[in-house]
Structure 1
Amino acid sequence: MSVIDLRGAEGFGADPYPHYAKLRAEGPVHQVRTDDFERVWMVVGYEEARAALADQRFSKDWRVTEQFSASSNPINANMLELDAPRHTRLRKLVSREFTARRIESLRPRVEQITEDLLDTMVPGGSADLVDAFAFPLPMTVICELLGVPDIDRDVFRALSNAIVTPVSPEKENEAVHAMGAYLDTLVEDKRRAPGDDLMSALIQANDEDGDRLSPDELIGMAFLLLVAGHETTVNLIANGVRALLDHPEQLALLRARPELIDGAVEEMLRYDGPVATSTFRFTREPVPVGPVVIPKGEAVLVALGSGDRDPDRYPDPDTFDIRREAQGHLAFGHGIHFCLGAPLARMEGRIAIRALLERCPGLVRDPEGGEPDWLPGMLLRGVRHLPVRW
């Protein structure tokens, strides 16, 4: 099988979907070359992607292969990079503190933060929607949930961006070490001064057998919750607004029928979701995917954005339609690593976009905003800035 070079694929960063469509037409899995790797397997079909996400023959632990190396750092002790039973143990300890009731109890605070941000933004008549709204909303929510409201958000944002959208392996490695040290201090501060918050609960959490998170596991959990708790929601809000602005008839429909917001957010997640590909998986053994057998010890990316545009799953998949039945999309993953924070992200997205449309009835792109600055790398899908006016 030849390796398909995505590095020079024209327009891939701005619009990967035509490239995904071409790959799907040729088969559900391919070997590709990216800016970061000379060769990696990519699963592009919906059914194959959904199956791979739930197949434990694909390990999430990079330690099972020699192809990838990574420095040992406490932030790697997180659920996203572990398999069962270690993943099961950590998820059990945190899920008791991340309940639907606790998330729902945040609704009034999410609404208040949203209104406060809009109170500041709206009088100006224009803004960078990412900096003024899409970033500070989920960042404030997750920091308050974890009990770290005084976090240096500019520093944290820079480190987080350098890890999830790296510009070079060297910069990524520097950011990983800096993030580990930063979170070590944060966790120790919370250990010395606990409060009525999720991080304090995680520090004190025990199961019926007396199991609890180790110091490294606490740092790994803080990293996962803080980074995943804001990065994806930033792009959910910004990508969703971009989709509406690019489809004026859908924007008009949602303004006329705001009760469609729940389904609209699901379509935003399907159409141009915040996570383009999964984090890496590694084959424990030869694994058949469609007509291809991926050998043991190979790195695999599941293209979530491609699966959600598969016409075998969604008719007319390149059409953005907020009335579509978009359930079953892969934006939050599938299987044991399904996003723990999906209910919170959905709630924030619904509240944020509905309030934005109510407060900014003339919302349009800022014609002086320049060309989009797309996030680099294969992991996240979105823009660094979204200039708008109203």
Structure 2
Amino acid sequence: MTPDASTAPSYDLWAPQVRANPFPLYQYLREKDPVARVMDPHRQMPFWLLTRYRDVVETAKDPRLTNDVEKLPEELRKKFRGGGAQTLNRHLLVMDPPDHTRVRSLATQAFTPRRVEALRPRITALCAELLESMKARGSADFVEAFAFPLPITVISELLGVPLEDRAQFRTWIEVFFTPPAQGGMERIRESLDRLLAYLEGFIELRRRQPQEDLVTALLAVEEQGDRLSTRELLSMIYLLLVAGHETTVHVLSNGTLELLRHPDQLQLLREDPSLIPSAVEELLRFCGPVELTMGRFALEDFELCGQPIKAHDVVRMNILAANHDAEQFPDPERLDVKRSPNKHLAFGQGIHFCLGSNLAKLEATLAFEVIIERLPHLRLAVPPEQLQWRSSAQVRGLMRLPLSFEAP
């Protein structure tokens, strides 16, 4: 039967103890309830949750499900449109073919591997600058001092945000991605509105004054006479900020924490830095930032992994749970920087595979190279049990990561 508020079990993915360690719950769900009914406490609506690797892979490609809220009845569209951010809701993650095919084809022309690779020297220099600033203090919050500023600086420069605007740009992003305190939603909405207004003006500026940046490139791409609309451009930039910034923050901080928790693996990287790209893939699997995907909506009644799904039901996949599935990954709870093969799902699956995956991996690889080379005495500055995790069940990340860099 279709889940509803009265029948959905109490799998509380948002409970503090689950946020601190979700893996026992995920193992239980994979083994006992792989298509579970879960209540979303924010919308007060149930959804179906998938946690097994093979189910996630197959469901990501299932044409009976849509990512596009516009294909739902009007009364349901209102619940999933995201309030006032209408201008930003036509990005790749909420599109189906043929719209998705068209927009991704255009975006790929601008966001090329060559453009990403050209960032290597600048990212390396940024990593060194941030690390030396931390090192001089002897200790620091790694999230605030390194993991947050690195990707936001890279994204700002990639987009072409002028130097004089970057401090304000960073402030808007920081507010937007900070979990709201009581009454803090108004400040977040205000920051989003101001960011949106800035981006609209910036796009118009680049129409008049093209530069060697990604926004100019996105404006220029054309295929068979087709171009990205202003709404699609805004949504694409917004997606880059979300996927290219927030997730990278947590890849860096979660990964640093796990290397400190697994000193034998950290030592392997110190002895052989050529293993760092492999380590990045393993950290993406083991402690990657993405847990819940965005909702997919059933277009019809059908059966999913033995569970009857009704038209318009919401289905979400848990990437982190799938990446710990023993049927796909031998000894999945062991961090192994030499793991091969490692077909993790941290960047999604199918047509919605992350467009910016190469940039995220490049940033992580260069960051860990610098950290491992220059911080031989790196250690946690607080007991692990004092670390606080974000309340979100969609993106897993630390609030703070206090580190010490001096010899004990």
- Counterpart Cα distance in 2 of 1:369 and 1:302: 28
Do 1:281 and 1:301's aligned partners in 2 also have CA atoms closer than 8 Å?
yes
Of stretches 124-133 and 187-196 in structure 1, the one that deviates more from structure 2 is 187-196
- Counterpart Cα distance in 2 of 1:347 and 1:376: 28
TM-score (normalised: structure 1) = 0.93
Do 2:152 and 2:170's aligned partners in 1 also have CA atoms closer than 8 Å?
no
**Alignment partner of 1:346: what SS?**
helix
Query: Paired residue for 2:9, among 4, 22, 44?
Result: 4
Alignment of 1:23-102 (within 5 A): 23-36=29-42, 37-65=44-72, 66-67=75-76, 68-70=79-81, 71=83, 73-102=86-115
- Counterpart Cα distance in 2 of 1:268 and 1:78: 27
- Counterpart Cα distance in 2 of 1:278 and 1:132: 28
Do 2:16 and 2:391's aligned partners in 1 also have CA atoms closer than 8 Å?
no
Alignment of 1:138-149 (within 5 A): 138-149=151-162
Going from structure 1 to structure 2, the CA distance change for 1:294 and 1:255 (only over 3 Å counts) comes to same
- Aligned-pair distance for 1:371? 2.2
- Aligned-pair distance for 1:30? 0.9
Going from structure 1 to structure 2, the CA distance change for 1:246 and 1:145 (only over 3 Å counts) comes to same
Going from structure 1 to structure 2, the CA distance change for 1:343 and 1:10 (only over 3 Å counts) comes to closer
Query: Paired residue for 1:375, among 387, 390, 396?
Result: 390
- Counterpart Cα distance in 2 of 1:46 and 1:298: 21
- Aligned-pair distance for 1:306? 0.5
- Aligned-pair distance for 1:159? 4.3
- Counterpart Cα distance in 1 of 2:398 and 2:202: 29
**Which residue is equivalent to 2:4?**
none
**Which residue is equivalent to 1:245?**
260
CA displacement 1:232-268 (0-9 Å, x = unmatched): 1111111110110111111112111211111111110
One-letter amino acid of the structure 1 residue matched with residue 245 of structure 2: H
Query: Paired residue for 2:22, among 1, 16, 31?
Result: 16
- Counterpart Cα distance in 2 of 1:148 and 1:113: 17
- Aligned-pair distance for 1:290? 1.4
**Alignment partner of 1:41: what SS?**
strand
Answer yes or no: is 1:203 the counterpart of 2:219: yes
Do 2:160 and 2:214's aligned partners in 1 also have CA atoms closer than 8 Å?
yes
Query: Paired residue for 1:315, among 301, 321, 330?
Result: 330
CA displacement 1:207-234 (0-9 Å, x = unmatched): 1x21111111111111111221111111
Answer yes or no: is 1:190 the counterpart of 2:221: no
TM-score (normalised: structure 2) = 0.89
**Which residue is equivalent to 2:309?**
294
- Which blocks of at least 5 consecutive residues in structure 2 are unaligned? 2-6
- Aligned-pair distance for 1:176? 4.9
Do 1:5 and 1:34's aligned partners in 2 also have CA atoms closer than 8 Å?
no
**Which residue is equivalent to 2:379?**
364
**Alignment partner of 2:344: what SS?**
coil
- Aligned-pair distance for 1:382? 0.6
**Alignment partner of 2:128: what SS?**
helix
Do 1:75 and 1:176's aligned partners in 2 also have CA atoms closer than 8 Å?
no
Do 2:57 and 2:349's aligned partners in 1 also have CA atoms closer than 8 Å?
yes
- Counterpart Cα distance in 2 of 1:298 and 1:122: 51
Do 1:60 and 1:280's aligned partners in 2 also have CA atoms closer than 8 Å?
yes
**Which residue is equivalent to 1:225?**
240
CA displacement 1:166-224 (0-9 Å, x = unmatched): 678955666654543342233233334321111011122221x2111111111111111
Going from structure 1 to structure 2, the CA distance change for 1:17 and 1:216 (only over 3 Å counts) comes to same
CA displacement 1:246-303 (0-9 Å, x = unmatched): 1111111211121111111111000110111111111112343211122110111110
Going from structure 1 to structure 2, the CA distance change for 1:175 and 1:280 (only over 3 Å counts) comes to farther
For the aligned residues, what is the CA RMSD? 2.2
Of stretches 35-44 and 265-274 in structure 1, the one that deviates more from structure 2 is 35-44
One-letter amino acid of the structure 1 residue matched with residue 375 of structure 2: C
CA displacement 1:308-365 (0-9 Å, x = unmatched): 0111111111111112125211100001010000011111101101211111100000
**Alignment partner of 2:330: what SS?**
coil
- Counterpart Cα distance in 1 of 2:269 and 2:313: 44
Going from structure 1 to structure 2, the CA distance change for 1:192 and 1:384 (only over 3 Å counts) comes to farther
Going from structure 1 to structure 2, the CA distance change for 1:197 and 1:331 (only over 3 Å counts) comes to same
**Which residue is equivalent to 1:283?**
298
- Which blocks of at least 5 consecutive residues in structure 1 are unaligned? none
Going from structure 1 to structure 2, the CA distance change for 1:61 and 1:159 (only over 3 Å counts) comes to farther
- Counterpart Cα distance in 2 of 1:295 and 1:369: 43
Do 1:205 and 1:212's aligned partners in 2 also have CA atoms closer than 8 Å?
yes
- Aligned-pair distance for 1:9? 4.9
Sequence identity (%):
39
Alignment: residue pair count: 387
- Aligned-pair distance for 1:156? 2.4
